[in-house]
């Protein structure tokens, strides 16, 4: 009986895990079919201190600045998100890439974000990058994150409070602070499809960092 119950439980957990995985990332969705956007702002010093950062010379060169940079603008469902929606437009003309370069810290990142997320927006690449720029302009970064001179010891809640204070209409349930190994990695802000307002996003909010203490690093290993 115990073995039977354990087997049933294992099958249930496997099915639940598979369903959750499908639910989180709906590959091959329909372009334009989503509920809201998530603007992901990456804390560049944390990224640049890792293995991926060492391969990203554009973002992490010697004069790179300690600041938030755009990671991406992601179409999102109330639960889960679409990705790689159709073949899309893989070739990005140079004028479009020049536009993307004004928003993203790395051209490869811009190409990847268009292919995985922009293709689900229902927009052409030029308009998608315009929307990324508009979303970034919508969010005001708190003053303490403008090129700090030394690491900041804080908490996810204090970072949320800073963003809420700096952005009219933004509430804690409309964003998430992400971390890894006690360091700030990203701030994700949820926006309406027309980018005019912040919107609640319970699933995104539940994925937020659970650490009590958080370090906002500066500088890089050179």
pLDDT digits (tens, 9 = 90+) for 112-147: 999 999 999 999 999 999 999 999 999 999 999 998
Domain extent listing, the chain: 2-216
| Range list of H helices, 61-200 | 94-101, 107-116, 125-138, 156-166
pLDDT digits (tens, 9 = 90+) for 57-75: 778 875 567 899 999 999 9
Find, among 178, 182, 181, 176, the residue nearest to 202 by Cα: 176
The domain defined by 2-216 folds into Ribonuclease Rh; Chain A (3.90.730)
Residue 180's DSSP bridge partners are 183
The larger pLDDT score, comparing residue 11 to residue 41, is at: 41
Q: Is residue 103 within 8 Å of residue 109, measured between CB atoms?
A: no
* pTM of the full structure: 0.84
């Amino acid at each position: 009986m115990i073995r039977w119950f354990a087997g049933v439980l294992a099958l249930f957990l496997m099915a639940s895990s598979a369903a959750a995985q499908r639910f989180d990332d709906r590959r091959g969705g329909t372009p334009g079919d989503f509920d809201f956007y998530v603007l992901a702002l990456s804390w560049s010093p944390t990224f640049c201190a890792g293995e991926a950062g060492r391969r990203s010379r554009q973002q992490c060169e010697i004069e790179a600045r300690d600041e938030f940079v755009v990671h991406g603008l992601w179409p999102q469902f109330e639960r889960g998100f679409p990705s790689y929606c159709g073949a899309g437009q893989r070739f990005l003309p140079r004028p479009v890439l020049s536009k993307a370069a004004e928003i993203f810290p790395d051209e490869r990142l811009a190409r990847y974000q268009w292919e995985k997320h922009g293709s689900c927006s229902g927009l052409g690449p030029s308009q998608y990058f315009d929307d990324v720029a508009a979303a970034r302009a919508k969010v005001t970064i708190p003053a303490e994150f403008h090129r700090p001179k030394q690491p900041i010891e804080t908490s996810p809640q204090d970072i949320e409070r800073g963003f809420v204070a700096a952005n009219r209409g933004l509430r804690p349930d409309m964003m998430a602070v992400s971390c890894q190994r006690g360091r700030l990695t990203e701030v994700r802000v949820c926006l309406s499809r027309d980018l005019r307002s912040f919107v609640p996003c319970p699933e995104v909010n539940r994925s937020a960092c659970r650490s009590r203490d958080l370090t906002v690093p500066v500088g890089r290993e050179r």
